[in-house]
Structure formats: structure tokens, C-alpha cells
Structure 1
Amino acid sequence: MTLIPVILALACTDKGSDSGGAPIVDDTGATETVGPCGPWTAIWQVDARWTWQIDEAYTKQTEISGAWLAEVDKTETFDGVKVYVYREDISLNVPGHERWDDQFEYRFICDERGVSLLQWEALYDHSTASREDQGFWSAEFTEAQLLWPYDIQVGDTWGFDQSFYFTTSGGETTRPLTVTMSAVDETTVTVPAGTFDVLKIESTWSSDPRHDFEEWSTTSYIARNVGEVKIEGYANLTSWEPGQAE
């Protein structure tokens, strides 16, 4: 069974001032602190937390409900590079399943290009009354793939087409992954966490291990210095707490 998108996570290596971000002045003269991963994420702040809730309309349509917590867990060195580790703990009520629990960890790097996906892994338990369905997988690229450019403007399109190493308890295989993303509009959205000026992002992922290697498309909304606040028709941000720059 495939559920539509879990949250795309962003994390990054250090870049910028000692405070973790660099001040810039916009066209109105207001000052904004831009983090080392660019202006569209707060994931350079360790202990930052986001709480999400399944959209009521999606629950009525599918009978799937629940909430989950995402947080910047820690920093570590991965393949010789300092990264921020972003973690999601998801527990949903899914018809026909006694449990639907997922734990995801993502590792990204960033440089002058933006935020790039390096590796992610999962522990899952999707058991029913008659069948245990538990396991682990990890996916890793030989080279980090650009996921979010450092700055994004309406009309920008980006993505990648790259194979990755997919590892489970049964062994390792090589899988392809194609991602296409585009910024299609600037707008304002209101969710339980507040009202945000956002960019509207349309994405398509093929052969994604989070979705049984099926293709899925989503429309999400990202706010400056916060990240994603809404996944259209699926989930809304209910609260978020900024963390601390190292």
C-alpha cells in the first residue's frame, strides 16, 4: 500500500557566518537572516521542530488520519562532510493495519548550488492483524543530487536523473530515481501554524523507495526560513519551533 508524500526533508553543511546565517536587505529595506542552505529552509537550526497533521479532506476520502513530528536531530560527519540530520517520526491510522509507523532520517549537503540529497534511510512497521511487515532500508547516491537550489524564483525548473544504491536486509541493488521540480507561483496560505507567504512547488518523483518505487506527484508550499508548510490535499503544518544555529 502506498501513501502519498511524506515531507521532503532538507539539511545542509555549514556555510556563511559564525551565527549560521548571513543578513541580507530586501527591496523594501527590511533585513532578513538567510541560513547556510538558502532562504527557503530553517533546517540549519539544530532542535528546530515541525508538527504535521493529515488534512481533514484527505481523511474523509481515504480514512487515513494521524500526525507526525519532524526535527533537526543533530549534526554529524558523513563521508567526511559535516551534515545536519533531519528526522521524521510518523504514526498514522491506516485502514486494515494495526500499525503504520515510519522513522525517516535524511542527510543532505549544501554549497553554492543549494541543498543536495546524499542519503536517506527508514525503519518501518506496516503490520496487519494477520501479517508482520517490518523492516529497514537505506538509499545512497555516489554523488549528492541537487534537490533545492540556493535561491528559487517563480519559473525555475530543476531536478535530476540518477541511480542510487538501495540496501535492505536482503542485500543491495541499484535503482534509478528521476525527480523534476518547478516553482510555479507566489501566493499566501493559511494553515494551523499560521499564515505564510509561500512559493508553490510542483514535484514528480519516480521509483521512490518511500512509495514502493511508484511514481507520485505533489504540490507543496514553502515559506522563507521555515520550509514546507503545506502539502496540497494531504497535510498541513500545525506548529513549528525554530532551533539554534551552531
Structure 2
Amino acid sequence: MNRRQILSTTGAVASLGLCAGIVAGVPGCTPAPAAEPVSPGLAFAIDQHRKVLADFTTSCLLFSACEEAAGKLETPQTIAAMDAADEAAQIDGERETTARLRLMSEPVLSLADVRAKADYLTEQARVFDFPDEVAALVVSLGARSAQAAGPALLSDPMADIATAYTVANETLNASDIDDADAVEAFSVAHIDPLRDRLLSSAPTPTTMAGALAAARLAERSIGQGDWHLAEPLIVTLRQFLEGRA
């Protein structure tokens, strides 16, 4: 199901909360307490996407109504109305795509930016079930975490397990092991226990170093199509952000 089909349902419109503010510091939204304001560039990108998404939603619902009317009574007038609504929806869809791509590429400059972008993009991903929004969130958080973590990485349970898991996988990939049984034995001993821990009870990062480790591993997992592992990592990132609010 594409974005246009999803937006033709009233449930998706309600889930997006297009009439309710959900991002702190964004014009037109109900503000939430924040230590610092959202940067103007990101606030503008979110606000613009919300506006064009509302237009696109209206166009999709209008086309759906016109299509239904033409199906019940096919006349030159109902067909013309359906074609006009279809063209309008296509135009608004292109505008929405442009605004969404700009938003996903907008850099984050502070923790307030991370929270704002996280709130908005995860809401989009929840409704559309598309990975691009979440991938953009992870990349943004990773970039911000890298700036904040600095050269000295503090001990963090997420940093420890994410690093161990990454090192184990890199060790296996760099080895000359080509025997299937030997590869399985290595995985059972060094990789599977860490993966099971990340899947079942991934620890919430306690420092920006841990958030960075989780973000890097999530981004790598997304790149490999391993959403099963990326999902709990993203959850821990959200918990970390909420804990710093």
C-alpha cells in the first residue's frame, strides 16, 4: 500500500494527528518543555512537511470520494471530477515527497533537534510503515551523538554490548573460515548470545556514547535489511531521549 492509499483512510489521518501539535518548538504546535529551542531550519522543514501532507491528505480523500461517486454513477461530469481530483493528488504527492526528502536530510544541531525530528519521523514511520523515516532518524541521532560523545567514551551497557556484537561480526567476516560448521560454531559461541540479548532485552543507553553505539549498529542493521535487530535498538534510542527530556 503506497502513501496515497494510506492517506485515503480516515484512520491514517487520525493517527497522524494533523490537527494536533506533536513536536515541541515547531510553529503551530503545542509546545512542550525544552531546554533549548528547535533550530529554525528543522522547525521550518517539519512545519512545511506537515502543511503539504495535510494538502496531500485532502487531495487523496477527495479523489477517493470522486472515484466512489463515478463508480456508482458514471457520467461525463463524475469522470471529469475524478480525473481532476486524480491530477491534484498527483501534484500534491510530488510536493509532499519533496518536503519529506528535505526534512529527512535536515541536520540536527542540538538535543532539542534530535527530539523534534525523532517525534515527527517516528510518527510518520508508524503510520506509513516505511523504513526511510526511521533510517533518517537514526542517521541524525548518530551524527549528533558523535558530536556530543567526544573522544572519551564513558562505560555504558549499550556501548559495551553493541561494540562486542560489532567486533564479533567483523571478526567472523574478516576470518578465513569457510567451513559451515565452523562458522555456525563461532556464531553460537560469540554472536548469537549478544544478538539474543539485543533482541530480548537491549539495555537503554546511559550516555551519549551508548546512544552513538546503538545508532551506528541500528544504521548498519538497516543497511543490511536486518529490521528485526534495528527495531529494539531504535526503541532504546527513544527511551534514552525521553530520559533526557
TM-score, length-scaled by structure 1? 0.21
TM-score by length of 2: 0.21
Q: Which has the greater radius of gyration?
A: 2
> Taking CA–CA contacts closer than 8 Å with sequence separation of 6 or more, which of the two structures ends up with the larger relative contact order?
1
